[in-house]
Amino acid sequence: MGKPKLWTKDFINITTISFFIFLAFYILLTALPIQLTKEFGGGADQAGLLLTLFLIAAIVIRPFAGKWVSGGSQKKILIYSAAAFFVATLFYPFVSNIWALYILRILHGITFGIITTVKGTISAEIIPDSRRGEGLSWFSLAMGLAMVVGPVIGLNLANIRAYNTAYILCIVISVVNIILSMVIHVPEQKQSEKASIASKGFNLNDLVDKKAAPFALVVFILACAYSGIASFLALYAQEIDLVKAASTFFILYAGLMFVFRPFTGVWADRYGANKIVYPCIILFAIGMVMLSLPQTAVIMIVAGAIIGIGYGSVTPILQTQVISSVEKHRVGIANSLFFNSMDLGMAIGAFVLGIAANSFGYSSVFISGIVLIVVGGFAYFALAGRKKTEDRHVVEEYN
């Protein structure tokens, strides 16, 4: 009997929606701080607050979004959130001061938190259960591609002060998302499942599902470690005159991530997640050790390749485990927990490691990262690795 089909029209549509959401996110992420400092007279701390406010808004709304998605019409929520995301982008060309921009970023962060929760949940519904690791690996590559393309577009347009062009592009992208949301077919939950969600008041279990929490904790710890690279590698490279090597680091990181993610997803489905997660964590640690050493261009570039395989491959596998650990009607809540764990890890990690960098230098960031990765590995072994999700203990509910 052949494999169930993965690349359906609906899977392609939801993956395209994901790409466009994050493309707009990364265009704005690079263009807005430049406009704030160049045209609004803001400082670096105020520019950093743009991302902080956006992520806090997304993190706060996601638990509620997870409950809405689990108990309501996923297609309607997708359409409404895509429309809200579009409306928020309409205001960027008209913002003329920092405070208005802060308010807009909060509102846009709310729409982002909802749409990222619902599109992740829909992808889990569309992907065949037996190919979930492979499907989510391909699905997550949409975000990876946007991570590479978006900053290039945003930076180039901002450098020539074509801010409105960047914002109009985001508006067009958002319109396309609305159209795709309207034509996609989403498998509807059974009424009994909706009723079981709706009948319960909002409680702690809607924030942190006990079955998914161990995997989410590992996601949080590893994201804390990676935040040191995302936030400080470029500054470190400037300090030691290895800016070109740092650029190559991120290019190789993205390239190896693109090459390996589909394969690691298939292997996780075939051989079990544990056999993929442990090697990925070890590779991530090796790459971080290389960054903590006295740097040359070769060391930094090779570290980028290794981390691209390690950390770049492990996140969709952990997302698969988060989703597979819960009942079908709680996938929305599980997705909310996954994304919040990653965003909180990035936000808290960048803040704490920034203090370490100011006090002890940039090398302390990567040494701290090694410790965090080791802790994450032990946490996976102690909390998540013993859970036999690869034995499909909840698959019966999905069939």
CATH number belonging to domain 1-203: 1.20.1250.20
Contact 225, 376 (CB under 8 A): yes
CATH architecture of 208-392: Up-down Bundle (1.20)
Domains in the chain: boundaries: 1-203, 208-392
What is the C-alpha separation between 292 and 362, in angstroms, rounded?
A: 9
**Using H for helix, E for strand and C for coil, what is the string for 64-89?**
HHHHHHHHCCHHHHHHHHHHHHHHHH
Is 338 in contact with 219 (CB distance < 8 Å)? yes
Does 208-392 match 1-203 at the fold level?
A: yes
Taken in order 63, 310, 317, 281, the sign of the CA dihedral is negative
* Entry pTM: 0.73
Per-residue pLDDT in tens (0 to 9) along the chain, 399 residues: 567 788 889 889 999 999 999 999 888 887 887 788 788 887 756 776 777 788 889 888 888 887 787 776 888 999 999 999 999 999 999 998 889 999 999 999 999 999 988 888 888 788 887 777 778 778 878 887 887 788 778 878 887 888 899 999 999 999 999 999 999 988 766 544 544 554 455 566 666 667 888 888 999 999 999 888 877 787 788 788 887 888 788 888 888 888 888 788 788 878 888 888 999 999 999 999 999 998 899 999 999 999 999 998 888 888 888 877 777 777 767 777 888 888 888 878 877 888 888 788 888 889 999 999 999 999 999 887 565 544 444 444 444
CB 11 within 8 A of CB 127: yes
Compute φ and ψ for 393, nearest 5 degrees: -70, -10
Contact (CB, 8 A) for 7 and 24: no
